[in-house]
Amino acid sequence: MLNVQTKRRVIFPLVLIIVLALSMIVLVACDNQEQVGPTPLTEEELMYFNEDSFFNGEDINIRNQFLSSLYSEAGDIDLFELFYIGSGIDESLTEEELKTVMAKDNMTGTIEDIPCPCEKNSRSSIDKILKEHMGITLADTNEVGLDHFTYLSEHDAYYHFHGDTNYRTNISFSSGEGEDNLVRLFYNDTFFSDGNKVLTLKEVNGEYLFVSNEKVE
């Protein structure tokens, strides 16, 4: 029968071995966790963004406009560039609205003389688009570019006349990667001819929200 001293000599090494073994398991687990990083998108996953499922399509797709400016976070998106061609929501203008906007813009002549269309973006439409695609409202933004519009408080809407368009009809990414709930899509911006960029999306409840659009150094 083992005495107390002998038992201690036997138990202590066993406890030490168990502690060391557990420590090794924890270290290996942490090491494996640190090694987890971005995973390249499959060809099928990339195709989802390159075809008409999310971007592009036959009609004007407001999602395409989220590539029209650079922003490191959602609140810094350029609202003038985003809503340059409207929100995609039908916004009817009254004759009185047009006349008021023309007067504020120091435009002469009659409504019939207007050479280009006037886009109307009501606050409710802006909020709807931003909420759906970024998870924020106009009040959550830094109002970048908003001063380029003509604002009518009586309609709580933003207007501007334009004769051209900054709408890109074809969105195409060369590669992409996923990490946790983020998707990064890489592309060479041939539309603006200003180099390589990365668009970051965040998956929330099965939907993709726009997070940032930045240059790649």
Distance, CA of 44 to CA of 167 (rounded, Å) = 26
Could you read off the pLDDT of 11-39 as tens digits, one per residue? 555 555 665 556 565 455 555 555 578 99
Do residues 133 and 82 make contact, with C-beta atoms less than 8 angstroms apart? no
What contacts 105, CB < 8 A, 6 or more positions away?
A: 150, 161
> 60: helix, coil or strand?
coil
The verdict on 133 and 204 lying in the same domain is no
Q: Could you tell me how many residues make up the chain?
A: 217
Could you read off the pLDDT of 46-104 as tens digits, one per residue? 999 999 999 999 888 999 999 999 999 999 999 999 999 999 999 989 999 999 999 99
The verdict on 48 and 113 lying in the same domain is no
Domain that includes residue 135, residue range: 69-165
Output the pLDDT for position 165.
Answer: 81
Could you read off the pLDDT of 165-211 as tens digits, one per residue? 888 999 999 999 999 999 999 999 999 999 999 999 999 999 999 99
The verdict on 87 and 143 lying in the same domain is yes
> Which of the two residues, 170 and 163, has the higher pLDDT score?
170
> 89: helix, coil or strand?
coil
The predicted model scores a pTM of: 0.81
The verdict on 75 and 154 lying in the same domain is yes
Distance, CA of 142 to CA of 144 (rounded, Å) = 6
Could you read off the pLDDT of 178-191 as tens digits, one per residue? 999 999 999 999 99
